[in-house]
Amino acid sequence: MKKEQIFIKDLIDNSGHMDLMLKIFAGEKGLNKEITGGEVNRPGLSLAGFFDFFAFERIQIFGLGETAFISNLSDDQKKNVYEKFFSYDILCCIFTHDVKPDKIFIDFANKKNIPTLVTKFPTTRFISLLTHVLEEVFSPSTTIHGTLVDVFGLGVLLLGESGAGKSESALELVERGHRLVADDMVEVQKTDESFLIGSSSAIIAHHMEIRGLGIINVRDIFGIRSVRNRKRIELIILLEDWDPDNQYDRLGIDEQKYNILGIDVSYVVIPVKPGRNIPVIIETAALNHRLKKMGIYSAKELDNKIQNMSQKEN
């Protein structure tokens, strides 16, 4: 799970990232500073003189509260506040609401080579967008050998040994109107400590390997509606060769879980043998999982009916 690198200048050059609408006002020489974490800091307490636990290594966000406090200070007071503030190795300062920093602030930022940027976004909205950009870099991630398909709006990750039929099943699902996210290598990223987002690498995106056909481009063959770039993984299905000696689940009362990056995901094992319509079974598994999310457990309801009937007979 190798972490990528991101620098302050990357926030301005938003190619490949969300447009943060940033303009630089000071500290251009510090644009090559590396961002080392995904958190930001609002320095209101520090500007008021409380520097205990000051997270200076984070991006400093100046919202309307911070700028209003600064505007009420005299020039001498500003110099005293800024002198203490800029005595720390500040990573970067960003002003929201299109509020420009005052000349004294700019002079200090230029002297210390602290990049100072301005965005038109409101503070809350900007922090949300910036956090999303930083999560792309700092969230834990891994690569899994499998196929990810959007089935009825549910991200279904197909696992199994090579030749188990993952790609062929996904191709049938696409032909039935569902959407391919990634084939062969699925890049999985953990976000918000509770979600797993799957995607394909830029090189092999929208491509599939079908034995006997070779490499095909799903988007070109089936159209743009047959693919999507990323999807939350909510159900994992393992395709394995039918083993007559194996006791497969025939009731579905006990839910199995598959752990990826510390997050448990619902897990189903589907045995594969000639004559079984695997794509239809995958569709049914996806629909059944959606019912469970709504609190409807068909297997448990049937089990309760049987137990109630047995109690009445007894």
Q: Which residues belong to the active site? A: 145, 166, 184, 250
- Percent helix, strand, coil in the chain, to 5, is 35, 30, 35
Type and span of the H or E element at 264: strand 263-272
Over its C-alpha atoms, the chain yields an Rg (Å, rounded) of 27
Report the interhelical angle of 103-112 vs 75-85 (nearest 10°).
30
The SS3 call for residue 40 is strand
Tokens of 182: 């990634």
As a three-state string, the secondary structure of 83-151 is HHHCCCCCCEEEECCCCCCCHHHHHHHHHHCCCEEEECCCHHHHHHHHHHHHHHHHCCEEEEEEEEEEE
Short-list 235, 128, 230, CA closest to 189:
230
211/145 Cα distance (integer angstroms): 16
Strand 195-199 and strand 256-260: the pairing is: unpaired
Whole-number Å distance between alpha carbons of 63 and 96: 5
Checking 73-80 for CB contacts under 8 A at 24+ apart, the result is 75/104, 78/102, 78/104, 78/105, 79/104
Nearest Cα to Cα of residue 217 among 171, 153, 155, 254:
171
Q: List residues bridging with 214 in a β-sheet.
A: 210
Q: E-assigned strands of 152-262?
A: 154-160, 179-191, 195-199, 207-210, 214-217, 230-241, 256-260
